[in-house]
Amino acid sequence: DGVEIQNFYIPAGGDIPDRALNPKFDHKLDFYERLTADMSTRDKQRPLVLAGDFNIAPGENDVWNHRYMSKVVSHTPIEVETLKRLQDAGDFTDVLRAQIPEPTKLASWWSYRAADFRKSNRGLRLDHLWTSPGLTPAVKAGSARIHDDVRAWEQPSDHAPVTMDLDL
């Protein structure tokens, strides 16, 4: 009983978006395939959160430049389709996008290479909060957010925390 929380770091996938040429990319997609198979067997009404660094920015407004990023690992068509299969397998709700719909741009990751992450504005939404159908009604309206202010702290992570509140 209670809420199951699975928090992941999913492999980034290297730099070349080709399974045959890049074992890291192959490993990433294999990880997703195994996770999707596991999620497809679960009771969708059981309260479950999938959270963490999924290393895929799924939507056009989850990247700073869709056309450019569609050729870069983290936003390629095969990755976006793979992530969608996982979401469909568990009938998961993408809580951030449910509460902050497109076309609003969202990002939770910015490269360390930019001196000022807000000024460069080249972020990706790699960090996710998903809920199963059995938990989605407990997500408090308007509570999902990306804490991008953390990126302005001294020596921060390149990722910003993502949070939501649950009414349990």
Q: Residue 167 catalytic?
A: no
Q: Which of 151, 164, 12 minimizes the C-alpha distance to 94?
A: 164
Strand pairing category for 93-94 and 145-146: unpaired
Q: Which of 133, 139, 166 minimizes the C-alpha distance to 45?
A: 133
Query: Could you give the CA distance from residue 88 to residue 27 in angstroms, rounded to a whole number?
Result: 21
Active-site residue (options: 15, 38, 53, 94): 53
Q: Residue 26 catalytic?
A: no
CB 85 within 8 A of CB 36: yes
> Catalytic residue positions?
9, 53
